[in-house]
Amino acid sequence: MRGLAFASILLLLPVSALASSSTTWSEAARTLCTERSGLLDASATVPVHFSDKSGKSVLLVSGRYPQRSMKGASAAMLCLYDRRTKQIELADAEVWTRVAKK
């Protein structure tokens, strides 16, 4: 009986380690993406994690353009986070926030 309990604990260890690393990736991705977006009042969605094969996560960052000429217009950017290198790539995603006309 003790052996079964010990085996159960061992099986749970890798799962908790994965959950912990996923949380770490999420926090790191959100911090990098919001800071480097350059947007005012930037906030990011919860990351969508792709498989470990790609090692990528994607977030939608929203905020306001900092340029005076934009008069505080809302902005949206996609942020691609590489979990292996901890590097990001940002791209304008304003078109994704528009409602499609029928």
32 located within any domain: yes
pLDDT at position 33 is 95
Domain count, the chain: 1
42 located within any domain: yes
Which structural domain, as residue segments, surrounds residue 84? Answer: 2-97
17-50: pLDDT as tens digits: 444 466 787 888 999 999 999 999 999 999 999 9
pTM: 0.72
102 located within any domain: no
- Which helix (H) or strand (E) is 18 found in, with range? helix 2-37
pLDDT at position 102 is 63
